Structure 1
């Protein structure tokens, strides 16, 4: 991966303090009782994206497409 330091710096801007728990999130079914994606799951997903990204712009675009980039209120769309 090229630009790995830049990608890590990019992620650190969006990285919250990790919470306990984790694992791979299940597919969301749209039901009210569906479990939410945890902060730790989002953090792990962001790191996985960063590892596969080819630079800062690629990482930012992938995070946005996957709903992992926080919006104005600081919440990732995948967590709504």
Structure 2
């Protein structure tokens, strides 16, 4: 029979992950960023055909908002 044991971590898992991913707390707010400076990509993955109607509508709406802003290439 296999045996199981519990080991307590000395460092909580979220802290380990934050260290691995080089996550750092923002010390100050970056404020508003102009839309033309924000890189955005709308990507249809191979799973896109399985997306629900509301997901498709939301993506189309987001693309329209970006396009109508006049500051984005869609």
**TM-score bracket for this pair, using the shorter chain length:** under 0.3
TM-score computed with the length of structure 2 as normaliser? 0.27
The structure, 1 or 2, with the larger RCO (C-alpha pairs under 8 Å, 6+ apart) is 1
TM-score computed with the length of structure 1 as normaliser? 0.26
For the pair shown, the structure with the greater C-alpha radius of gyration is 2
The structure whose residues are more often helix, as a share, is 1
